[in-house]
Structure 1
Amino acid sequence: MRDSKQYSRRQLFTHFARPPVKQPRLVISNTCDNLYGYCESCNDSCSKQAITWYADKKPVIDTDKCNRCLECIDACFISAITMTEE
């Protein structure tokens, strides 16, 4: 027999009645200059070091380190970084 978990009224209301909050995330498009050369302007502007560079591929943003300060968007001179809803 399964044990049923007991919830308080507050837990039921706050956890189950509200839809999950979607966190915005940063996305780097395929127009990033790192595909054709080496830029590193967004990496230099990131104080949390959340951007990882790879040779001949676009950079990757670590969502755990990123605090969504948007400094990388301001630093990208070709607007390759955008904010999207997850």
Structure 2
Amino acid sequence: MRESKQYSRRQLFTHFARQPVEAPSRLVISNTCDNLYGYCESCADVCPEQAISWLVDKKPTIDSTKCTHCQQCLDACFINAITINE
């Protein structure tokens, strides 16, 4: 028969306490983006990591692996189509 391991009260409350997992925030481009009509590319122009890609007649997408959350695209978007989703 296997022996059970004994833990102190301190170990139970400190060592094994679960740390809250923070969900990473994401930048999201809404459907109100003017690129649907071919007018604007200001967020892609200011992105230092080139994380925003553009497709014809579709809203731009943000590559979460490249995005460093510098939020320069938020300031560049004059219609506030980019938001932070937490």
The bucket for the TM-score relative to the shorter chain is: 0.7 to 0.9
What TM-score, normalized to structure 2?
0.79
Partners of 2:80 and 2:22 in 1: CA distance = 27
Which residue of structure 2 lines up, in the alignment, with residue 4 of structure 1?
none
Structure showing greater radius of gyration is 2
Structure 1-normalised TM-score? 0.79
Q: Percent same amino acid among aligned pairs?
A: 59
Structure 2 unaligned segments of length 5 or more: list them: 1-10
Counterpart amino acid of residue 72 in structure 1: C
Take 1:60 and 1:38, find their aligned partners in 2: how far apart are those partners?
A: 16
The 5 Å alignment of 1:23-34 reads: 23-34=24-35
One-letter identity of the residue aligned with 1:37: G
Question: What is the deviation of 1:11?
Answer: 7.0
Confirm or deny that 1:75 pairs with 2:76: yes
Q: Which SS does the other structure have where 1:42 is aligned?
A: helix
Q: Contact 2:31–2:59 (CA<8 Å) still a contact in 1?
A: yes
C-alpha RMSD of matched pairs (Å): 1.4
SS at match of 2:27: strand
* Count, aligned residues: 74
State the match for 2:23 in structure 1.
22
Q: Answer yes or no: is the 8 Å Cα contact 2:35–2:58 preserved in 1.
A: yes
The residue identity in structure 1 corresponding to 2:76 is: A
- Specify every segment of 5 or more residues in structure 1 that has no aligned partner in the other structure, as ranges: 1-8
